[in-house]
Structure 1
Amino acid sequence: MWIRNLAVFVGDEAFGWSVAELEEALDNHRCQPCGSQTQRTDGFVPPLKGQDPMAYEVDGFIYCMHQETARLLPGPVIKEVLDEKVELIQQEEGRKVGRKEKAELKEQITFELMPRAFTRSRRTGVLIDTRRRRILVDSASAPRAEEVVASLRKALGTLPVTYPAPKAAPYTSFSNWLRKPSLLPEGYTLGDRCELKGTKDEGAAVRFTAVDLGQEEILAHLDTGMVAVRVNLAWQDAMELDVNDKLEIKRIRPLDQLKENIDALEADDAVAELQAQMTLQGTVLRDALDSLYEYFEIGAQ
């Protein structure tokens, strides 16, 4: 387990279920195979293939796995078969195929091809921090993360969590950090990339990569009215990450200190290894989010 991107959902109250109750709920909402005419199914699967548990717990963290299975029936394939049928009808019957008939043919073709379509599964890890009332979804896509949380909510019956709501606009703070790094949340230092956008011209944007974020060119852009909407940060020499103006965490990468701890893991089996990884990365993420959320006055720690 290594979380690379992070969408965080925060609850106002302690989660009112035990690990056993969560496991039972996930087991009752397993991802089922696609039927011959089913385009998509979703639900939960064991995090470790070949193992039965639907969730694993250690040090206040619970890890589970969401899965979406979909049949791959590309639109161009349907269109190609449809065009062939339309052309055949026009040649054999000497008439034009109307819009309504085309729609009916398309529906028939889809029905015939669906059982022969390949299926593809997409798995998304979910790390639940019960001590901080946070749901951490390993996804770079906000819509995908919302789908996973909606599925978890459906399984549990209720799950009152929302995106973190900062007291002030993050882009204002990001811009201030670039001007004065001492304003950064405790434990953070500037990295080497950022993205700026104009506040007047919506199309104006500039990205800097592998540079000193305090350089004059960046500060000059800020002075013209641009704001920072994404910034790269390092957390206590343990990991680096990008945070955007929605407080989504992207491109999480371990730094030397954490790499050494990861390389030192010598678990006896897959379960022990997963739990060690949960503790290792989960604790670092918990502390990093604590500092970031305290800065933006998000929830009680």
Structure 2
Amino acid sequence: MWFKNLQIYRLPAPWDMNAEKLEAALTPQTFQPCTSLDMQTQGWISPRENGILVHSVNQQLLIALGTEKKLLPASVINQVSKAKATEIEEQQGFKPGRKQMREIKEQVTDELLPRAFSINRTTWAWIDPVNGWLVIDAGTAAKADEVIKLLIKGIDKLPLEALHVVQSPVSAMTEWLAADTAPKGFTVDQDTELRAQGEGKATVRYVSQTIEPDDVQRHIASGKQCTRLAMTWADRISFVLTESLTIKRVAALDVIKENADTSSRDDDERFDSDLMLMTGELAKLLDDLVFALGGQMQVK
């Protein structure tokens, strides 16, 4: 398995946490399916569907947040509520007021919920207590916050911090493009976004196209800065770095795939091997990226 998006947070290194302690902390928030009256439920699920909430390999911890959400569009509620309001108007001789309409909508929602379809989503999180990383595979900060909020419920005084670096990603990416060079161990790929900082926030995107140095200089001179940059680390992992220090579109390249252990036919062994490979490579990538951005900033 490989994470596709990295929302990155810091923990103490090393952190006194192991699979047994984390399992005990997460158990009270084990996932429970929606009842007939629930619009959404969230809780921890077993990463390997074996009833164990924390999967541990080589001191690396993998957990998963399960989310079930009922699909009940507001347009459906409004349509049924309107029809019911018409019936009530005929019975009582006048249109329902605001309070009565609110009660009608609540009643309709309760009636429709048991028949609503559900969608399920899994959000993965990797905890590295040795090197002090919490990495959540989520495309948005909002989805990552769901994981963090539930972790805080289970772990008293969770020592979690946002990752702060000395040089902002926007400043660093703009400098790399302006100098037509990448930091040591990295190469710049073809996808780029440059955005002006003024009210209009004019944006230029290059997709699968190399940006010429003259074009870079012209855009920077006009006030634009780089807000997204496709890069490759050590010829092993490609990704897109964003202005918020989120890493997107993570992909293992052929050199990693060739070294992956495919000899075992056992699913559990293959899963553990992939997890060890992923966490080992991503830990090195994160260290090199933080170094390229001037190191971690200590926030007091």
Q: Same fold (TM over 0.5)?
A: yes
Query: Are 1:142 and 2:141 counterparts?
Result: yes
1:28 corresponds to which residue?
28
Per-residue deviation at 1:35? Answer: 1.6
1:197 corresponds to which residue?
195
1:225 corresponds to which residue?
223
1:236 corresponds to which residue?
234
1:3 corresponds to which residue?
3
Per-residue deviation at 1:80? Answer: 0.9
1:261 corresponds to which residue?
259
Cα deviations by residue, 1:38-62 (Å, 9 ceiling, x for unpaired): 222111111013x232222223311
1:52 corresponds to which residue?
51
Q: Secondary structure at the match of 2:262?
A: coil
Q: 2: CA distance between counterparts of 1:231 and 1:294?
A: 17
Structure 1: 5+ residue stretches without partners? none
CA contact 1:293–1:299 (8 Å) conserved in 2: no
Q: 2: CA distance between counterparts of 1:288 and 1:185?
A: 12
CA contact 1:44–1:66 (8 Å) conserved in 2: yes
Query: Are 1:160 and 2:146 counterparts?
Result: no
Per-residue deviation at 1:292? Answer: 0.9
Q: Any residues of structure 2 matched to 1:67-146 within 5 Å, and which?
A: 67-146=66-145
CA contact 1:165–1:298 (8 Å) conserved in 2: yes
Q: 1: CA distance between counterparts of 2:287 and 2:247?
A: 14
Q: Secondary structure at the match of 2:278?
A: helix
Per-residue deviation at 1:16? Answer: 2.6
Provide TM-score, normalisation by structure 2. 0.93
Per-residue deviation at 1:186? Answer: 2.4
CA contact 2:190–2:210 (8 Å) conserved in 1: yes
Q: Secondary structure at the match of 1:79?
A: helix
Percentage of pairs with the same residue? 28
Judge which range, 104-113 or 27-36, deviates more: 27-36
**Alignment: residue pair count:** 297
Query: Are 1:43 and 2:43 counterparts?
Result: yes
Q: Secondary structure at the match of 2:65?
A: strand
CA contact 1:190–1:213 (8 Å) conserved in 2: no
Per-residue deviation at 1:15? Answer: 2.4
Letter in 2 for 1:36: S
Per-residue deviation at 1:299? Answer: 6.0
Q: 1: CA distance between counterparts of 2:180 and 2:156?
A: 44
Q: 2: CA distance between counterparts of 1:247 and 1:68?
A: 25
Q: 2: CA distance between counterparts of 1:119 and 1:158?
A: 34
Q: 2: CA distance between counterparts of 1:22 and 1:299?
A: 28
Query: Are 1:274 and 2:274 counterparts?
Result: no
CA contact 1:191–1:213 (8 Å) conserved in 2: no
CA contact 1:65–1:126 (8 Å) conserved in 2: yes
Letter in 1 for 2:277: L
Per-residue deviation at 1:92? Answer: 4.3
